[in-house]
Amino acid sequence: MRTLTSQRGFTLLELLVASSIGLTVVLMMTSLFKTGMDATMRVTQRAETQQNLRAAMELLTKDISLAGAGLPSGGLQLTTGGLSRYACNQAGTCYITGDTYPNSGGGTANYMYPLIPGFGVGVQNAAVIAAAPGQVNSSITSIYCDYNFPLTNFGFTFPSSTQANVAVLNAGNTPNNILAPGGLQVGDLLMFTVSTPGNGKTTTGTSLVQNAAVVAEITGIPSNTQINFATGDALNMNQAGGANNLAAVAAAAGGAGAQTTVCRLQAVSYFLQVPPAGGTVQAPRLMRQVNGLNAVPVADNIINLQFTYDIIDTTSGTVVANQQNPIGAGESPNLIQKVNIWVMGESPTTNGNKSQNMYLATSVSTRDMTFCNSYGYSTTSCQ
């Protein structure tokens, strides 16, 4: 007869326990894998954001640190015929609200300070950046002489108040021309400084005094030997009326013993722009605009731009730290000692519907602006 033998198997309880343990291990591995992927995504987002922030901060600190280099001490009075503009291009687009030069300490309008704070006007067309915190975005404009394209090798004469003839000095040794790569172009600003013999008295028939400076905007460059400065320019620098205009320079430069020096100014404005819907770029970005040229993007996904200023108070002579709006507070931008910068970026890569925001902050000393010794303060030495 066949003998039946019993074989021991798994009970239902054992199967349930084994399945539970296996499922737990799988869930743990899945969770560990997701944690690793999330960490990788966070690192990627932070690296992208930091890259954009550092690119923005590098340019900001460079331009702000040069504010006032080559300008007359404390800035200069522009033409008194009307208000000039900054942060506008040749097509008439002005990127910053309130884009005319402010008043000087004495109340005279159209004064070119080396540094112009733009409190509360940091986004073009006052567009709303939804991802930004509640802080007010601001713009900033830094003005300095451009020494990358020196004009000391060129001589300038003025056949009229709207034209300058250019001659290359020592042409045999230096065959440069004004249209060389990186050279002059329509929309650039030139600062003419005329030195006349004498003791600083007013030059006959003009409003210029010794070492006075005038700024004009290039409206045309017909050749390497001619530059035009027609009225009606985009930045309203070339005005026929008033004083401190190119007509005064032309008159003074023709005087006996007069010497004219020229530098190309860089009036650099920073602000945020929200590209219009439907374009290839949708995220807010930091824009850099120079003289009367078109603004160009320098860093993407920048959602917040703020500045505060350490400035000498004209009444007490002490430093007021983190002043947001010096002009609104009645302070002279000439007395800015340090600029504090906050730039906030948003990661361009999203993890589902999540992105990361980061701040990068630094401070820049305005080394080329008017120095004020707050320990031996006097209002006459600081303004």
C-alpha distances (whole Å) from 238 to each of 215, 250, 292 are 8, 13, 13
39-53, 177-191, 201-215: which is most confident? 177-191
Residue 217: both structure tokens together: 């905007």
Number of domains present in the structure of the chain? 1
Q: What is the pLDDT of residue 290?
A: 97
Q: In what order do the strands lie in the sheet with 336-346?
A: 319-323, 302-312, 336-346, 357-365
At 319, the pLDDT band (50, 70, 90 cuts) reads confident
Query: 33 vs 223, which has greater pLDDT?
Result: 223
Q: What is the pLDDT of residue 378?
A: 52
Inside any domain, residue 236: yes
Which own/partner pairs from 310-316 qualify as long-range (CB within 8 Å, at least 24 positions apart)? 310/336, 310/337, 310/338, 310/339, 310/340, 311/335, 311/336, 311/337, 312/337, 312/372, 312/374, 312/377, 312/382, 314/105, 314/379, 314/382, 314/383
C-alpha distances (whole Å) from 155 to each of 52, 170, 262, 299 are 42, 10, 9, 39
Average pLDDT over residues 119-145: 88
State pLDDT tens for residues 101-123. 999 877 788 999 999 999 999 99
Q: What is the pLDDT of residue 199?
A: 45
Q: What is the pLDDT of residue 376?
A: 53
Inside any domain, residue 160: yes
**Residue in the structure block whose two tokens are 């320098």:** 298
Inside any domain, residue 68: yes
Inside any domain, residue 348: yes
At 15, the pLDDT band (50, 70, 90 cuts) reads confident
Inside any domain, residue 218: yes
Provide the residue range defining the domain that includes 267: 49-382
230 and 219 Cβ atoms separated by less than 8 Å: yes
- Strands 259-273 and 189-195, sheet pairing: antiparallel
Inside any domain, residue 284: yes
Return the minimum-mean-pLDDT range out of 29-38, 237-246, 321-330, 371-380. 371-380
Q: What is the pLDDT of residue 349?
A: 67
286 and 56 Cβ atoms separated by less than 8 Å: yes
Quick one: three-class SS letters along 234-285? CCCCCCCCCCCCHHHHHHHHCCCCCEEEEEEEEEEEEEEECCCCCCCCCCCE
- Strands 336-346 and 319-323, sheet pairing: unpaired
Could you please report the per-residue DSSP string of 94-127?
B-SSS-B----TTS-SSEE-SEEEETT--BGGG-
- pLDDT above 70 (res 245): yes
Angle at 81 between CA 80 and CA 86, to 5 degrees: 80
State pLDDT tens for residues 264-314. 999 999 999 998 765 555 789 999 999 999 999 999 889 999 999 999 887
Q: What is the pLDDT of residue 277?
A: 67
Report percent pLDDT > 70 for the chain: 82
Q: What is the pLDDT of residue 206?
A: 47
139 and 269 Cβ atoms separated by less than 8 Å: yes
H-type helices in the chain, by residue range? 12-65, 246-253, 379-382
9 and 319 Cβ atoms separated by less than 8 Å: no
Inside any domain, residue 134: yes
At 203, the pLDDT band (50, 70, 90 cuts) reads very low
Average pLDDT over residues 42-50: 73
Q: What is the pLDDT of residue 372?
A: 61
79 and 243 Cβ atoms separated by less than 8 Å: yes
Query: 316 vs 286, which has greater pLDDT?
Result: 286
- pLDDT above 60 (res 225): yes
- pLDDT above 70 (res 178): yes
What phi and psi, each to the nearest 5 degrees, are found at residue 28? -65, -45
Inside any domain, residue 8: no
Q: What is the pLDDT of residue 296?
A: 95
On average, the pLDDT of the chain sits at 83
